[in-house]
Structure 1
Amino acid sequence: MSQPERYTWRPGPWSAVVIAVLTCAATAAADTAAQAKEILSLSGVRGGLV
């Protein structure tokens, strides 16, 4: 009952999906941070966030 290939990590089509999801999440986080920074600067709150 030894099937070592079953437990070997091999990149498949799912890995591209995971990378795409992580990239989208990172982009969304960056956009949110940029929007928050812009809103704060428009509100007159300056400093603190760089």
Structure 2
Amino acid sequence: MKSIVKKQAAYETFEFEPVQAKFIGYVGQGNASNTWNSIIEFLGARELKMT
């Protein structure tokens, strides 16, 4: 999987192909300067697997 790093000064939108998912996972990176949160990863799953 390729990682993309870029600085963004405004809101950014993302489009995804439609999928059926029961759970959505979101990983973000906050900061100490403001309330912005950078998206690191989005995951969709049909079932929750505990590891």
TM-score between the two structures when normalised by the length of structure 2: 0.16
TM-score between the two structures when normalised by the length of structure 1: 0.16
| Larger relative contact order (Cα-Cα within 8 Å, sequence gap ≥ 6) | 2
Larger helix percent: 1
Larger strand percent: 2
Larger Rg: 1
